[in-house]
Amino acid sequence: MTSVPAPAVLVFLDSQHPQGRIVDATAPQLMATDLGATRGDGVFESLLAVDGKPRKVPAHLKRLASSAAMLDLSIPAPQAWEAAISTAIDVFRDAKPDEDEIVVKLLVTRGVEGAAEPTAWVQASPSPALGRQQRKSGIDVVMLDRGYDSDLADRAPWLLLGAKTLSYAVNMAALRYAHTKGADDVIFTSTDGRVLEGPTSTVLLAHQETSDDGTVTKRLITPQLDAGILPGTSQGALFVAAKAAGWELGYGPLVPEDLLDADAVWLISSIRLIAPVNHIDGQRIGKDPAVAAALTAELNELFAGIS
């Protein structure tokens, strides 16, 4: 195996290398004129590999293809991505066997102007320590207006709402703004008052009710996708597991008051996993900390069983 020359492994996809072409991550690899760099013209996915096993690969490849279709972007076939993912993980683990979690990114751009093929690669790197800590300690968030109403995705498909593109400048700016307010993350809202998503995550909330006969009902809710938000692969997989475990499921529309009235709120993503929300705009979430902790523990257990 090739050793890791940097904190990341890069494997480029091309027709001459069925398993992917391993390159030096410390050397320049992307053309300065690549449209991914100059215009953010491309799409990506991020997934987690635990103990060498990548999670939810089919779901991520399906969403990658969906995002690419929205951009009219041709991308490599799923088999090519799967081979490159395997190569990147094997090379990374060969050099860093003690890393139990690896962040695997799939990136594809339109290439340089007039290119016959897109530029596509897989990157493997360590899981960030901050994300792991936030799974345990939880996060404080602020709600920010995203600046458009919940019907805009249907009226203006060219805005690519719901596609996971490389144009993440606005999302990163929102996170930086949250940090200036002493918060860790953001929940976006629409101009007509709907709860949308986080810059890099999906919003979940839960209610737990106990009937007079002692029956406990747990309901897991997420915003509706028709508001132009990114379909969450983690949310989708968790909903399947929760339904099998007896949870009731719901899909918005949600308003900010729904979050403030919930027994628990989380931001969920493929890398950070399930992060409990402690405060929203300074207001404590959850009427009973013990209930919120129990709900979080149950969801974590369900999510751990997802492959």
Run means of pLDDT, 10 residues per run, the chain, 307 residues? 65 91 92 94 97 96 97 96 97 93 97 91 95 95 95 90 92 97 97 96 95 90 91 95 95 95 97 97 94 95 88
- CA 57 vs. chain centroid, Å, equals 13
Give dist(CA 250, CA 42) in Å, integer.
32
**What's the pLDDT score for residue 184?**
98
Give dist(CA 2, CA 124) in Å, integer.
14
pTM: 0.92
Alpha-carbon distance values, 182 to 141, 175, 186, 276, 281 (Å):
9, 11, 11, 17, 10
Give dist(CA 24, CA 10) in Å, integer.
7
* DSSP-assigned beta bridge partners for residue 203: 267
Alpha-carbon distance values, 151 to 5, 58, 93, 161, 299 (Å):
47, 29, 45, 11, 31
Give dist(CA 242, CA 237) in Å, integer.
9
Strands 139-145, 273-280: pairing kind: parallel
Where is 47: in which H helix or E strand?
A: strand 42-50
Where is 43: in which H helix or E strand?
A: strand 42-50
Residue pair 126/96 in contact by the 8 Å Cβ criterion: yes
> Tokens 């139990």 map to which residue?
100
For residue 272, give the amino acid letter: R
Residue pair 234/273 in contact by the 8 Å Cβ criterion: yes
| Cβ contacts of 250 within 8 Å, gap of 6 or more | 219, 220, 221, 222
**What's the pLDDT score for residue 227?**
87
**What's the pLDDT score for residue 109?**
97
